[in-house]
Amino acid sequence: MKKLGNYIAGNWVEGEGEGQTLFDAASGKALYQAGSKGIDFQEMLDYGRNTGNPALRKMSFQERGRMLKALALHLQSHLEEFYTISYQTGATRADSWIDIEGGIGNLFSYASLRRKFPDEPICTDGEPVNLSKNHSFTGHHLLIPREGVALHINAYNFPVWGMLEKIAVNLLAGVPAIVKPATVTSFLTEAVVREIHASGILPAGALQLICGSTGNLLDLLNSQDTVTFTGSASTGLKLKSNPNILRENVSFTMEADSLNCIVLGEDLDPSRPEWDLFVKEIRKEMTVKAGQKCTAIRRIFVPENRLEEMGKSISKALAQTVIGNPSNEKVRMGSLAGQDQRKEVRGQVQKLLASSQIIYGSMDEVELVDADSVKGAFMSPLLLLNEHPFAAEDAHGIEAFGPVSTLMPYKHLDDAIALSKKGKGSLCSTMVTANDRIAKQYVVGAGTHHGRILILNQDCAKESTGHGSPLPMLVHGGPGRAGGGEEMGGERGVKHYMQRVAIQGSPTTLTAITSIYQPYAKQTLDIKHPFKKYFEELQIGDTVVTHKRTVTESDISQFANLSWDHFYVHTDHTSLEGTIFERPVAHGYFILSAAAGLFVDAAKGPVLLNYGIETCRFLKPVYAGTTIGVRLTCMEKTGQELKEGESIPKGIVKWYVDVYDDSGESVLIASILTMVRKKTSAI
């Protein structure tokens, strides 16, 4: 029997003793032993903090993002190895696709997210704040990677996705991870970590693994560390209440299993396409991963006059599900993760039956393909009916973490909203309706109790990712019973692993700290126009002060004719009474265009193209007779890697555009982007 390893301080170490025996969930065959007895957890933390953390902190967001992309591509080349092992967890090919390729997809998503961050190890948060009358004292918020480790304690249901969706975020933030998967399916996590280690893509100390108990690890954490937990609310509460976690104020994010719900709108009946979408969503959420998903639908709310019809529709759909050996291509639902899990689910169902009845499925019998119901942890999908959801609380407080869901009636939409809240907080909810008024009422009414709400109708159904699919760029978490935390969420998730610090000082000093030009900072004037400088030659603060131009009535008239923008404030002298304008005002976009005419260097040079306008604000009216000038300043630089088929090394430069009038006051402030050639391409 193979013994799983723990990846500790750069070495694979087996736990002392026999450890816990792990089984093939479908066949019942003993496969592995896992344990972490004898491991020095202080050594783990020291290695992560002193080796992994400094290595990641030195890297810029761009370098970390490219590292994630390389890792994702590497893991993609080993998919079949992971699928073969995943069958042993009871997961079908489709289940494993969500877990394995879904997890790798998170790596790709966060690799792409690097474009939202600077080419620096740190980043700013929000906009600068002027703190003085003469603009010599300003403030900003800075985000700096914490100096600790991210400890991820994951659930058994997604041994790959659960790890990769979390480490993608902390690695992009510049913080190393210690991953502790649930032991029962940790053999799949271990296989993936072995391949990550073999790739050599991550720096030493960036990722460590525990296949067993965390021992006294929680007692050794400090305020620079972060804990994320996925699992039961009771276990999460126990961990979160650890005296050391409380004493050290260790950041703790919990994503707990919750009683997620789906609601059928009052506007729907069996003739509508949304009826079938509703049924399809329920069947999928009850059978994918055998219902072992923290986002699975546990409560089904339908108008009371549709209760019987809906029960028959769901039952018919469930009857079409082929259950059995997960490696058999005909099978659509595999086993639960193990015999203990099946026993747990059956026990919870017995509690639910105190106020409900089974209308589809059997507690004791299940028809299987290519599998043994005694040796394997198989279970029939169970659809329960609770006819009095306001009187019977069981369905709103007891979760059977398997292919189990309860159908319940409601009278009016307000009742559905109230029932959705009785779960006391969930990860996600779905409203199926073709009526946008109903959708809005539900979202506004129920939104306080759910981390994510899907509005499903025929317009979005073809491309919808579904009720149970957390997305990398959206937050995953929920209030109350769901844990009160948030994971992923794009930039929000990255910031979770960084310390926000307010900084104050002169704009010039803050420019030096942030590597982003701050308004009113000192500018560097050079005889050489910035547009004649290669990417590497440009320095933050490099500025050109242009010649000036006087705006004429002819300019305004001609721009109106050219652009077809004949808005009255630009062209009609007789319609200005009651407006803020004294006479026809120049178009804001004419001022921006005129500014470009002033600051652009016309000769061929390193600037390849205009990449876009990021921000633009018109501050003061410009009338005919006003003379304008421009200060163009290099604001920020981000290098780009060469893509396949490209031959020109380049980077993106953000410019601060300050257009001012005769009095020296700014009339327009903008930030524009250009693509600039790197000098390495010059001959």
pLDDT, tens digit (0-9, with 9 covering 90-100), for 283-304 = 999 999 999 998 999 999 999 9
Residue 32 has pLDDT above 80, yes or no: yes
Nearest 5 degrees, angle CA 558-CA 560-CA 566?
A: 150
User: Does 394 fall in a domain?
Assistant: yes
- Letter string b/e over residues 522-550, b meaning 16 or more CB atoms within 10 A of that residue's CB: ebeeeeebbbbbbbbebebbbbbbbeebe
Whether 183 and 268 share a structural domain: no
What proportion of the chain, given as a percentage, has pLDDT over 90?
77
Answer yes or no: is 503 within a domain.
no
Kindly report the CATH number assigned to the domain that includes residue 408: 3.40.309.10
Give the separation between CA 389 and CA 68, rounded to whole angstroms.
Answer: 47
Write the CATH number for 89: 3.40.605.10
DSSP 49: I
Question: Do 568 and 575 meet the contact criterion of CB atoms below 8 Å apart?
Answer: yes
Of 470, 498, 475, 474, the residue nearest 485 (C-alpha): 475
Catalytic one among 123, 261, 294, 428? 294
Mean pLDDT, the chain, rounded, equals: 92
CATH code for the domain of 626: 3.10.129.10
Phi, psi (rounded to 5 degrees) for 25: -65, -30
What DSSP string describes 164-208? HHHHHHHHHHT--EEEE--GGGHHHHHHHHHHHHHHT-SPTTSEE
Asked if residue 447 has pLDDT above 60, the reply is yes
**175-199 pLDDT, tens digit each:** 999 999 999 999 999 999 999 999 9
Model pLDDT, residue 682: 45
DSSP string, 519-565: TT---EE-SS-GGGS-TTT--TTEEEEPP-EE--HHHHHHHHHHHT-
Within a 10 A sphere around the Cβ of 184, how many other Cβ atoms? Answer: 20
Domain count within the chain: 3
Q: Is the domain of 274 the same as that of 403?
A: yes
Output the DSSP codes for 53-102: HHHHHHS-HHHHHHHHHHHHHHHHTTHHHHHHHHGGGT--HHHHIIIIIH
Q: In terms of Cα–Cα distance, which of 255, 226, 76 is closest to 148?
A: 226
Q: What confidence tier does 683 reach under pLDDT thresholds 50, 70, 90? A: very low
Hey, CA dihedral for 138, 139, 145, 148, is it positive or negative? positive
The two three-digit tokens of residue 141, written as one number: 């918020």
Whether 236 has a pLDDT exceeding 90, the answer reads: no
231 and 291 assigned to the same domain: no
Does 515 fall in a domain?
no
Q: How confident is the model at residue 582 (pLDDT cuts 50, 70, 90)?
A: confident
Quickly state the pLDDT bin for 486 (edges 50, 70, 90).
Answer: confident
- pLDDT (tens digit, 9 = 90+) per residue, 319-345? 999 999 998 989 999 999 888 899 999
Claim to verify: residue 461 and residue 534 sit in the same structural domain: no
Phi, psi of 31 (to 5 degrees): -120, -45
Do both 600 and 663 map to the same domain? Answer: yes
In angstroms, how far is CA 528 from the centroid of its own chain?
A: 43
- Which domain, by its residues, includes 555? 523-681
User: Does the annotation mark 294 as catalytic?
Assistant: yes
User: Average pLDDT of 249-261?
Assistant: 91
Q: Are strands 357-360 and 297-303 parallel, antiparallel or unpaired?
A: unpaired
Tens digit of each residue's pLDDT (9 = 90 or more) over 39-58: 999 999 999 999 999 999 99
Q: For residue 406, is it within any domain?
A: yes
Collapsed DSSP state (helix, strand, coil) of residue 418? helix
Residues 611-664: tens digit of each pLDDT: 899 999 999 999 999 999 999 999 999 988 888 777 889 999 999 999 999 999
Identify whether 590 is part of a domain: yes
Residue type, 259: L
Structure tokens at 286: 């009850």
Start-to-end C-alpha separation, the chain: 62
- Residue 220's CB is within 10 A of a number of other CB atoms, namely 16
pLDDT at 410: 96
Question: 249 and 136, same structural domain?
Answer: yes
| 227/288 same-domain check | no
What amino acid is encoded at 448 in this protein? T
Percent of the chain with pLDDT over 70: 100
**Segment 407-429, tens digit of pLDDT:** 999 999 999 999 999 999 999 99
Query: Which whole number is the average pLDDT over 349-373?
Result: 92
CA 441 – CA 182 distance, rounded (Å): 39
| CA dihedral (521, 527, 531, 537) positive or negative | negative
Name the phi and psi angles at 629, rounded to 5.
-135, 170
CA neighbor of 289 nearest in space, from 278, 301, 297? 297
Asked if residue 343 belongs to a domain, the reply is yes
With respect to residue 510, please indicate whether it lies within any of the assigned structural domains. no
SS3 343: helix
Specify whether the CB–CB gap between 295 and 475 falls below 8 A.
Answer: no
Among positive and negative, which fits the CA dihedral 269, 274, 280, 282? negative
pTM to 2 decimals?
A: 0.88
Say what angle helices 413-421 and 436-446 make with each other, to 10 degrees.
30
Q: Which residues contact 220 (CB under 8 A, 6 or more apart)?
A: 41, 42, 45, 244
Judge whether 272 lies within some domain. yes
Give yes or no: residues 184 and 301 share one domain.
no
CB of 517 closer than 8 Å to CB of 634: yes
Amino acid at the residue 291? G
What's the pLDDT score for residue 373?
A: 86
Task: Give the pLDDT confidence score for residue 681 in this predicted structure.
Answer: 53
d(CA 39, CA 564): 74
Q: CA 273, CA 493: separation in Å to the nearest integer?
A: 36
Check whether residue 210 and residue 267 sit in a common domain: no
Same domain, 344 and 379: yes
Residues contacting 142, CB < 8 A, separation 6+: 122, 123, 124, 125, 500, 501, 502, 503, 513, 514
Q: 65 with 204, same domain? A: yes
Question: Which listed residue (255, 274, 285, 487) is catalytic?
Answer: 255
344 is catalytic: no
Q: State pLDDT tens for residues 113-164.
A: 998 999 999 999 999 999 998 899 999 999 999 999 999 999 888 899 999 9
388, 287: one domain: yes
